[in-house]
Amino acid sequence: MEKLSEMKAIRAAYGEALVALGAENKRVVVLDADLSHATMTLNFSRQYPKRFFNAGIAEANMVCMAAGLSTMGFVPFCSSFAIFGAGRAYEQVRNSVAYPHFNVKLAMTHAGITLGEDGGSHQAIEDMALMRVIPGMTVVVPCDANETKKAVFAAATINGPVYLRLARPATRVFEQNMSFTLGKANVMRSGTDIVLFACGIMVATAMECAAALSQHGISVAVVNIHTVKPIDRVCVLKWAQRCKRVVTMEEHSVIGGLGDAVSDVLLGNGNFAFTKIGVQDRFGQSGKPEMLLAEYGLDTAGSLARIKTLLG
């Protein structure tokens, strides 16, 4: 499972997946908040113009429009930047979509600090926490372009709200035959000394860390938790109990995200050495993605430093 191929943006894969899904399912409609060039929903708008709705810079209205469309039997996908779709429109997501359990898919791009030069005001580092706490919300954070396409199709098959957290930059693409089932984690690498639970773009970083540590005789397991809610409790507990040392890796605040989801599973189920790699209660800032990842300790070097402290 370690083979890596080309680089491709997760948001680009999202745009392609929408077009393919739209061809299969005529009930799929797409809404955007005047950011279709950035979210890549522009591809769908060109292919199916009558099934695309630009709500303008009005994310709350967009979410409510999607809620209404879902009651008519459509499968709406809403897109904007994560800071706007999960942040600005939070009340509408909660009360107009999740409270009545409407079949709306919230696919929000440009999540995390790798949004880059737009700066801290636009970098969503708390969106997973916001979506996790909403009853009935499924939260998915795909790790690469291939997994994104599978996640889009899977989201369309379930009845209820789904939050898809999508990254901006080009990231590593894993081998084509990686399986995907909502709620089931993927074991990317087996190990016995320490387990790295990661989501999104941090999966590739976890694999790089594991490869580096293996050169020193350290056996590292890597588990891709693409579905943060509902989390795969069986898989998490199995690998935590096997390795005893546990690390979570996410491009998100360490408060309320993957780290807390994993710790909820482990609480009362054994004794573990545990650390969370993520944004440490700070806002983002303006800078190139690779510089920001290094600044916040989320690049390979920074992650390795944190992992080694747990190894002793």
Catalytic residue ranges: 59
DSSP the chain: ---EEEEEEHHHHHHHHHHHHHHH-TTEEEEESS-HHHHSTHHHHHH-GGGEEE--S-HHHHHHHHHHHHHTT-EEEEEEEHIIIIIITHHHIIIIIITTT---EEEEESBSGGG-TT-TTT-BSSHHHHHHTSTT-EEE--SSHHHHHHHHHHHHHSSS-EEEE---SEEEEE-TT---BTTB-EEEE--SSEEEEE-TTHHHHHHHHHHHHHTTT--EEEEE--EEES--HHHHHHHHHHHSEEEEEEEEESSSSHHHHHHHHHTTS---EEEEEEE-S----SS-HHHHHHHTT-SHHHHHHHHHHHH-
